[in-house]
């Protein structure tokens, strides 16, 4: 795994709240290395989404319009029993 990519994603996974930092940073730490290339790309693109939308999705108040985003959000929610 390219450390420069991980560092860039770690920086991008830092969000406006500690809760989102922990949720997305945790997925990066635990799942990114074993994810397939399409899922890795989707995670990178997911980090472009605004924090209020990410928060709504992880809290179950909405669903992303993209299936690949939804799979990542579902993994995060399952890991944290949300």
pLDDT tens track for 5-47:
999 999 999 998 999 999 999 999 999 999 999 999 999 999 9
Which residues in the chain belong to E strands, given as ranges?
Answer: none
pLDDT of 58 reads 97
pLDDT of 81 reads 93
To the question of pTM greater than 0.85 for the whole model, the response is yes
pLDDT of 67 reads 98
Eight-class DSSP state of 81: T
CB 20 within 8 A of CB 55: yes
Residue with tokens 């693109």: 45
CB 40 within 8 A of CB 72: no
Q: Which of 11, 12, 19, 13 is nearest to 82 (CA)?
A: 19
């Amino acid at each position: 795994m390219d450390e420069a990519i991980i560092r860039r994603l770690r920086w991008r996974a830092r969000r406006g709240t500690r809760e989102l930092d922990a949720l997305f940073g945790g997925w990066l730490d635990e799942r990114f290395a074993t994810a397939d290339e399409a899922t890795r790309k989707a995670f990178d693109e997911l980090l472009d989404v605004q924090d209020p939308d990410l928060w709504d999705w992880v809290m179950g108040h909405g669903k992303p319009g993209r299936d690949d985003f939804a799979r990542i959000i579902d993994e995060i929610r399952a890991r944290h029993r949300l």
